[in-house]
Amino acid sequence: MSWRRPGWAVTVIVLLATSGLGLVAAGLATTPPRPPRPGAAAAPVPTRPALPPLHRAEPVDVRIPAIDVRARIVPVGADADGHLEVPPLDRPTLAGWYRHGASPGETGNAVIVGHVDSAAGPAVFFDLGRLRPGDTVRITRADASVATFAVDGVGSYPKDRFPTDLVYGPSDATGLRLITCGGRFDRDTGNYVDNVVVFATRVP
């Protein structure tokens, strides 16, 4: 099934919004940082010139110097019911690449997800909300090439108003979307109420 099909995107993102990207342990005092909330009507508009796209290659490593992230990336997809897979909660230092979409550097928006926390404490994308425009994200690919992206903006969205088209929709740019949970933790449901999304565009 094509990742560009609207029905597929809607199914995946609804399930992403309710999937386990974060789970606070009892008594965990830290909370993830809150990013500014951009308008949900449009993604930040990159002002940098477009680069020629790279060929498809699986991402294997992500580095985000501004928040001291270096993590291995594993491919994730969706199960038979359409539930988005995420990295195992018992391995909270891993990030997951949505393999039905673009690979980082290809035309389109590559999507990488990661847990915000686990029973052991902060996880790989705990500080995602601290990123600001201009911060860089470096993705090492299986062919040993590195795709570098600059952050265009960061937003926090209620899970029932997730910007599906801006994350999974078709794009002529070589973009990157990083996603985790955030906002208030609802102890009744055991979930965060928001998703944090980083919008980035490939740079030299």
Neighbour tally for 27: CB within 10 Å: 5
User: 45 lies in a domain?
Assistant: no
Q: Are 11 and 81 in contact (CB under 8 A)?
A: no
Q: What is the pLDDT of residue 37?
A: 57
Q: What is the mean pLDDT of residues 18-47?
A: 54
Q: What is the mean pLDDT of residues 11-29?
A: 42
Q: What is the mean pLDDT of residues 72-78?
A: 93
Q: What is the 3-state secondary structure (H, E, C) of the chain?
A: CCCCCHHHHHHHHHHHHHCCCCCCCCCCCCCCCCCCCCCCCCCCCCCCCCCCCCCCCCEEEEEEHHHCEEEEEEEECECCCCCECCCCCCCCCCEEEECCCCCECECEEEEEEECCEECCEECCCCCHHHCCCCCEEEEEECCCCEEEEEEEEEEEEEHHHCCHHHHHCCCCCEEEEEEEEEEEEECCCCEEEEEEEEEEEEEC
Q: Are 149 and 201 in contact (CB under 8 A)?
A: yes
Percent of the chain with pLDDT over 90: 52
Min mean pLDDT across 3-7, 47-51, 62-66, 120-124 is at 3-7
Look at 154 and 45; give whichever has higher pLDDT. Answer: 154
CATH of the domain at 182: 2.40.260.10
Q: What is the pLDDT of residue 38?
A: 53
The count of structural domains within the chain is 1
User: 30 lies in a domain?
Assistant: no
User: 64 lies in a domain?
Assistant: yes
Q: Are 168 and 96 in contact (CB under 8 A)?
A: no
User: 34 lies in a domain?
Assistant: no
User: 10 lies in a domain?
Assistant: yes
Check whether 31 has a pLDDT greater than 90.
Answer: no
Q: What is the mean pLDDT of residues 41-69?
A: 86
Q: Give the C-alpha separation, 185 to 181, whole Å.
A: 9
Which two structure tokens, joined as six digits, stand for 23? 């789970």
User: 198 lies in a domain?
Assistant: yes
* Class of residue 144 by CB neighbours under 10 A (exposed 0-12, middle 13-18, buried 19+): exposed
Per the structure, the complete domain to which residue 73 belongs is given by 6-23+54-203
User: 177 lies in a domain?
Assistant: yes
Q: Give the C-alpha separation, 130 to 196, whole Å.
A: 10
User: 153 lies in a domain?
Assistant: yes
pLDDT band at 21 (very low <50, low <70, confident <90, very high): low
